[in-house]
Structure 1
Amino acid sequence: MLKKTLTALALSSALLAGQAMAADYVIDKQGQHAFVNFKISHLGYSWLWGTFKDFDGTFSFDAAQPEASKVSVTLKTASLDSNHAERDKHLRSEDFLNVAKHPTATFESTSVKSTGEGTADITGNLTLNGVTKPVVIAAKFIGEGDDPWGGYRAGFEGSTTLKLKDFDIKMDLGPASQTVDLIISVEGVRQ
């Protein structure tokens, strides 16, 4: 009986040792090393750029096994800033993000698929304006390593394009402005 127990423990240890363990990170928004930006065409003539200034998030990552990674982000929609107070007021209204009724947007990953050296598609559920839809973020690993303060960091960038109507945004800005691009850059501190 003892021999069977020791064999089972040895086998379990060997299996666990062979599994890569993803490290957990907190997105470093305090140090201003994380951004959720957006751009949308203005009449097809130029780009309107903006950002969300208040969000929190975590991710887990192991370079040896990127498919085991996970991402979770919560964003305060009222933190939208397009560098124009009146426009921001309109973008926060019922015509667009309806921040009074939907003060947060969330993203929870459901899978990560490696697409090449240092790149992956992160599929997950985005809840925006009270609507939840699956989206795919094309992500790129930027780098990882020790920081000057005794911590360890990892950084990524990603992008996705959203159809406004998919998220019940009814305001029609014309044919050139039916989609918005999200551009994300995050640096996480390992916990």
Structure 2
Amino acid sequence: MLKKTLAALAIGSALFTAGQAMAADYKIDKEGQHAFVDFKISHLGYSFITGTFKDFDGSFSFDAAKPEDSKIDVTLKTASVFTNHAERDKHISSKDFLDVAAFPEATFKSTSVKPTGKSADGKTTADVTGDLTLHGVTKPVVIKATFLGEGKDPWGGYRAGFEGTTSINRKDFAPKSMDLGPQSDTVELYFTFEGVKAK
């Protein structure tokens, strides 16, 4: 009887462990700068301004076998905006746009991950839905994400990498920001990053 009880407990424990998604935790590789948050926006309908945010940090959990259990959390310093033009960066940081003095951080926290199949080159894709907080306003956004790959690195670590795109209307987050016409309201965002697996 005792042996049967112990066997049942062992089997139950094994099933319980297997039932829990063994998603690994990763730290976004900011130190090695294998991570980028870039943007593109029309300038008056005549050209495009592209830029990046230099300072951000975050983490994610991921299991390739159960991507729907993945999560990501990113915090970005808005004052780190860079468009390769100092005066423009100063203007974007002002109250006309980002107002970095009042809103020094932007955040993204995922709420769900929905696998969507494969890309043309066979990589796993997913819709990552989450809450974006920008200019003190929080709204849901959907990022079209692609899992780029995972494996060991030359320094004894283990990495996983992704890219994603989405677009937002800046007036949804800062309705009183400077009006440059409707063609300049849509901001295209591009993300790519590697995460280093926690040891």
TM bin (shorter chain): over 0.9
CA–CA separation in structure 1 for the residues paired with 2:72 and 2:66: 15
CA–CA separation in structure 1 for the residues paired with 2:157 and 2:13: 31
CA–CA separation in structure 2 for the residues paired with 1:80 and 1:168: 17
- 1:46-101 Cα shifts (integer Å, max 9, x gaps): 21000000000001111100000000000000000011111111101111111001
Query: In the alignment, which residue of structure 1 is the partner of 2:136?
Result: 130
- 1:116-140 Cα shifts (integer Å, max 9, x gaps): 1210011000110000111111100
CA–CA separation in structure 2 for the residues paired with 1:77 and 1:34: 16
Query: In the alignment, which residue of structure 1 is the partner of 2:121?
Result: none
Instruction: Decide which moves more: 76-85 or 165-174.
Output: 165-174
Structure 1 segment 80-91 matched on structure 2, within 5 A: 80-91=81-92
Query: In the alignment, which residue of structure 2 is the partner of 1:110?
Result: 111
1:32 to partner: Cα distance: 1.4
Structure 1 segment 52-63 matched on structure 2, within 5 A: 52-63=53-64
SS of the residue corresponding to residue 173 of structure 1 reads coil
CA–CA separation in structure 2 for the residues paired with 1:133 and 1:70: 17
Matched, 1:172 2:173: no
1:5 to partner: Cα distance: 5.9
CA–CA separation in structure 2 for the residues paired with 1:5 and 1:130: 55
Query: In the alignment, which residue of structure 2 is the partner of 1:144?
Result: 150
- 1:120-174 Cα shifts (integer Å, max 9, x gaps): 0110001100001111111001111110001111110001100011102421111
Query: In the alignment, which residue of structure 2 is the partner of 1:24?
Result: 25
Give the TM-score normalised by the residue count of structure 2: 0.91
Counterpart amino acid of residue 189 in structure 2: L
SS of the residue corresponding to residue 90 of structure 2 reads helix
1:15 to partner: Cα distance: 3.2
Unaligned runs of 5+ in 1: none
Query: In the alignment, which residue of structure 2 is the partner of 1:96?
Result: 97
- 1:16-43 Cα shifts (integer Å, max 9, x gaps): 2244411111000111110000000112
CA–CA separation in structure 2 for the residues paired with 1:76 and 1:67: 28
What RMSD over aligned residues (CA atoms) do the two structures have, in Å? 1.4
Query: In the alignment, which residue of structure 1 is the partner of 2:197?
Result: 190
Of residues 120, 127, 131 in structure 2, which corresponds to 1:121? 127
SS of the residue corresponding to residue 96 of structure 2 reads coil
Instruction: Decide which moves more: 12-21 or 76-85.
Output: 12-21
Counterpart amino acid of residue 164 in structure 1: R
SS of the residue corresponding to residue 171 of structure 1 reads coil
CA–CA separation in structure 2 for the residues paired with 1:42 and 1:136: 24
Give the TM-score normalised by the residue count of structure 1: 0.95
